[in-house]
Amino acid sequence: MVRKIRVKAPAKINLFLEVTGKRPDGYHDLATLFAGISLADELTLAKTEKPGIRLKVVNQADLAGLRAEDNIVYKAAAAFFPAFKINPAVEIKLVKKVPAGAGLGGGSSDAAAALKGLCKLYGVDPALNRKKLKAIALSLGSDVPFFLTGDAFSFGTGRGEILKPVKAKGRFPFIVLVYPGVPVATGPVYRALSPSTRREVSSNLKKLRLLIKALEAGRPLKDWGVLLFNRLEEPVLSGHAAVRLAKERLMEAGASAALMSGSGASVFALAETRFAASKILKILKKPGYRVFLLNFC
């Protein structure tokens, strides 16, 4: 019987994000293209003799002052055990590498990794319990269902939880990711959105379909880099000078394409070659920035 397990929790970027409407429940409807990336947190889960859930977080500078019980990993475990009628007796260690408040889905991925790890640890078959696990995932956050699928690329609608895998192929570009050290809260970003016309949204959704087709056809970056879009960029770039400056620097450094991920504050550049990406990375390294050279999953 498995007593201990280690699980990776990869981050994501949004290659496209359009807000298509506001829902009666207060959330917004989205059309987005998720892409998993190689930056990842790591969870170690171990069964213990002592009842309860214990969580230890390493490298939690971004989460300073957050009680263990308020961490999304703890909440995932607290939802898992009663759902499957299992008495909790587990110790979880979370090693953080993904910045918090960065639009990278770090917390959401941690929650999904915790659910996957607990399934393996306690012999719960994810395939037979897909509906129950997805319901738990969605109760924890809109991005958690994407990470639960394990898909590298996925087209998301609804809150982002209605997912369709995108079978991207070909040689993917390198990613230079910059976190400018200023976390951005999601709620205020959505509240600051300017209304979009139906024509504008419809035009953008056509671009999204073209982007997905290009990825599935294995087209090079030069054919689809111009299609990247994020509706949330406008309010964030106008309200957060550090994020705006980071994106400007990426473009000045020679990025083929650059975009903010999710609701920020991370911005990323795409480059065809490792040499070009390394050159951008070197230019962007400065005090206060966390810069990563990454791959798509």
pLDDT at 1 over 70: no
pLDDT band at 13 (very low <50, low <70, confident <90, very high): very high
Of all residues in the chain, the percent with pLDDT exceeding 90 is 89
pLDDT at 65 over 80: no
For the question of residue 25 being annotated catalytic, the response is no
pLDDT band at 62 (very low <50, low <70, confident <90, very high): low
Which of 41, 62, 110, 143 does the annotation list as catalytic? 143
For the question of residue 12 being annotated catalytic, the response is yes
What's the whole-model pTM score? 0.96
Smallest CA-to-CA distance from 10 within 143, 170, 167 is with 143
Residue 179 parent element (H or E): strand 174-179
Of all residues in the chain, the percent with pLDDT exceeding 70 is 98
Domains and CATH numbers, the chain: 4-165 (3.30.230.10), 174-294 (3.30.70.890)
Distance CA 245, CA 232 (A): 16
Distance CA 21, CA 32 (A): 13
Distance CA 127, CA 143 (A): 20
Is the four-CA dihedral 207, 260, 67, 121 of positive or negative sign? positive
Smallest CA-to-CA distance from 273 within 178, 174, 175, 177 is with 174
Say what the pLDDT of residue 286 is.
79
CB contact at 8 A, 240 and 28? no
Distance CA 272, CA 275 (A): 9
Average pLDDT of the residues in 212-229: 98
Which of 12, 116, 134, 247 does the annotation list as catalytic? 12
Chain-wide mean pLDDT for the chain?
95
pLDDT at 61 over 90: no
Pairing of strands 89-95, 4-22: unpaired
175 CA to centre of own chain: 14
231-273 pLDDT, tens digit per residue, is: 999 999 999 999 999 999 999 999 999 999 999 999 999 999 9
Average pLDDT of the residues in 56-78: 88
Longest Cα–Cα distance in the chain? 60
91-104 pLDDT, tens digit per residue, is: 999 999 999 989 99
First-to-last alpha carbon distance for the chain, in angstroms, is 30
